Amino acid sequence: MPVPDHTPAGLVKILGFAYRAHNGAERLAFLVLPRWYGPRRHPPIPLVISPHGRGVGAVQNMLLWGSLPARGRFALVSPEGQGRRLVLFSWGDPGQIADLARMPQLARRAFPWLRIERRRIYAVGESMGGQETLLLVAHDPRLLAGAAAFDAPTNMDLRYRDFRLLRRGLRLQRLARFEIGGPPWLSPRHYAERSPLALARRIALSGVALELWWSRDDRVVTDQAAQSGLLYRTIERLRPHAPVRRFVGRWAHGAEFRRCLPEALERLGLLL
């Protein structure tokens, strides 16, 4: 299913495809390719899986990438995602993480001419998408050559409690209870399985080249020192030589993803 190309100079093509989510629902994903790539010219190409942020759809997430897939000669897949009960608020549901791991297979099933470099599959996301990127590293490290998480929450228990500091925070808490199955004090296991911090040992031992970007001035994922910052320190303690790098600054939530995504991709070897 072709999608109108709104990226600069028409350097990429966007193809949509349907897939069956873990709960049986039919969802959409969008595959972004360099304009020249297609059935007649299809060399092996790296693939980036990009889960969307909270409340942001797959199309909006995809458009943030602009012409980068053409510049880096890689494919990008941006799925709609699907939580246990919600769509735009999946918050690292285990079924959603399993769906992300299936994206290379699903994209190839939809487009048999697509040839993916199996050793060059990456995950990159921001905010909730960064959270799900980290969970994918924890659960499927052999799938990934590298990953980058921007402004990611890593502790869903703390995240739930900090929602009250945000505009419409009570609504977010209601949505979290609906999606996850209750508040954290009644469902601690369910919150832990959606928390990269609880899986820090797996991430530390994964061997996946990982970039953690976070801001001291984040007003959405508040107290990042106790979120991405604590995850980094825990990984460093568990495995001092883990291939994990931190990038810390003072930017508004999500701003660095839009500004420094090319730098992150370059560090992963996806941009020359």
Topology annotation, domain 2-267: Rossmann fold (3.40.50)
Quick: pLDDT tens for 71-87. 999 999 999 988 999 98
Confidence (pLDDT) at 3: 46
pLDDT tens per residue across span 205-225: 999 999 999 999 999 999 999
- Structure-token pair, residue 33: 């390719």
Query: Which residue, among 112, 85, 78, has the nearest Cα to 22 in the 3D structure?
Result: 85
For the chain, the domains span 2-267
Residue segments in the chain with a per-residue pLDDT below the cut of 70 = 1-9
> What is the predicted pLDDT for the residue at 82?
86
Q: How far apart are CA 228 and CA 204, in angstroms?
A: 14
Helix ranges, the chain (H) = 58-63, 68-72, 94-101, 103-110, 128-139, 156-162, 169-176, 188-192, 200-205, 228-238, 255-267
pTM of the model: 0.94
